[in-house]
Amino acid sequence: MQQYSIGLVLSGGGHKGLVHAGVLQFLQEQKIEPQIFSGTSAGALISSLYAVGKSPREILEFFRSVNLFNVHHFSLAKNGLLNAEKFMVYLEQVFGELRVGDLPKEVYISATNIETAKPKIFSPQTKLKEAVAASCAFPGVFSPIMVEGKLYSDGGILNNFPANVIQGRCDFVIGVNLDCGLDYKPANKFAFAPQTAWRAIEIMMSQNSAMQNRFCDWLINPKDVNQYSVFELSSKRLDAIFNLGYQTAKREFAKLNPSIFG
């Protein structure tokens, strides 16, 4: 297997994932170019968009253009609020019939096989649009995605920050983890079963994500990202998330030994 110089790991996080695009903007300006990527959900989407040649600002424009909450996208299916096939239409516009292995950069896309309850890294032969859609299929929001005869949901269920996937594949791992810990919530916030169930999922995902931090040589963990929603719709707030990523990377970069990247 080929050994790379720099790897980049991008966590899930919905529209908060635009932090990743802001980080990529800063890395580009510093002429730091990752050669291998590992991503879950929004991280998988942004890794793939970047790998096909989209600039960070074009990625921002893509997020602005995807109106998932259009009334026509709501699903009558019992297993998801939104029809994942509608999301696939957006993905097909940028990825076409490309397969994961067609990308000029090596990208590892994580999902969860809900039949076997095991994590999945899609093979180079998998259609890129299907792999990304599966990785982004958050339970209860998107219906699960059938890929090559198996049913998949969001990779964040089991590994929202897949740094271990490229451990040993590169000399230096940069990680952008949007999980900054969970804020305190009083008992009255858990009056109904769905609220309690969601909190349990949050705790599980947060703990699993934190365990991956140790695989990163440079961890970028934007503390202010919790003020934003995973379903941000405002262009102004999407811009702010992008800028948060840029400014966090800039601030943390100043703390590094400048010789690390030559």
Q: In whole numbers, what is the pLDDT of the chain averaged over residues?
A: 88
What is the rounded (10 degree) CA torsion for 40, 42, 48, 51? -110
Residues 133-157, mean pLDDT to the nearest whole number: 91
Tokens 């649009």 found at = 129
Residues 223-233, mean pLDDT to the nearest whole number: 87
**What is the Cα–Cα distance from 108 to 39, expressed in whole angstroms?**
6
**What is the Cα–Cα distance from 219 to 216, expressed in whole angstroms?**
6
61 — pLDDT class (breaks 50, 70, 90): very high
Identify the active-site residue in 110, 135, 153, 154. 154
pLDDT for res 71? 39
**What is the Cα–Cα distance from 254 to 26, expressed in whole angstroms?**
12
Residues 129-141, mean pLDDT to the nearest whole number: 91
**What is the Cα–Cα distance from 194 to 182, expressed in whole angstroms?**
17
Residues 112-131, mean pLDDT to the nearest whole number: 97
The whole-model pTM stands at 0.91
192 — pLDDT class (breaks 50, 70, 90): low
Q: Is 156 exposed, middle or buried (0-12, 13-18, 19+ CB in 10 A)?
A: buried
Helix (H) or strand (E) holding 196: helix 193-210
Which of 80-84, 157-161, 196-200, 207-211 is predicted most confidently?
Answer: 157-161
Which CATH superfamily is 4-250 part of?
Cytosolic phospholipase A2 catalytic domain (3.40.1090.10)
In this structure, are strands 80-82 and 106-113 parallel, antiparallel, or unpaired? unpaired
pLDDT for res 19? 98
What is the rounded (10 degree) CA torsion for 216, 220, 224, 228? -80
pLDDT digits (tens, 9 = 90+) for 69-97: 543 444 545 555 666 777 888 999 999 99
pLDDT for res 140? 75
pLDDT for res 141? 79
Identify the active-site residue in 41, 48, 143, 209. 41
154 is catalytic: yes
Domain residues of the chain, as ranges? 4-250
pLDDT for res 9? 99
127 — pLDDT class (breaks 50, 70, 90): very high
Question: How would you classify residue 42: left for phi > 0, otherwise alpha for psi between -120 and 50, otherwise beta?
Answer: alpha
pLDDT digits (tens, 9 = 90+) for 39-50: 999 999 999 999
Q: Is 12 exposed, middle or buried (0-12, 13-18, 19+ CB in 10 A)?
A: buried
Q: Which of 121-125, 203-207, 247-251, 253-257 has the lowest mean pLDDT?
A: 203-207
Q: Is 189 exposed, middle or buried (0-12, 13-18, 19+ CB in 10 A)?
A: exposed
Residues 3-12, mean pLDDT to the nearest whole number: 93
Residue 158: phi, psi to the nearest 5?
-110, -30
Residue 40, C-beta contacts closer than 8 angstroms, at least 6 positions apart: 10, 11, 12, 109, 110, 135, 154, 155, 156, 159, 160, 161, 162
pLDDT for res 73? 47
The terminus-to-terminus CA distance of the chain in angstroms comes to 24
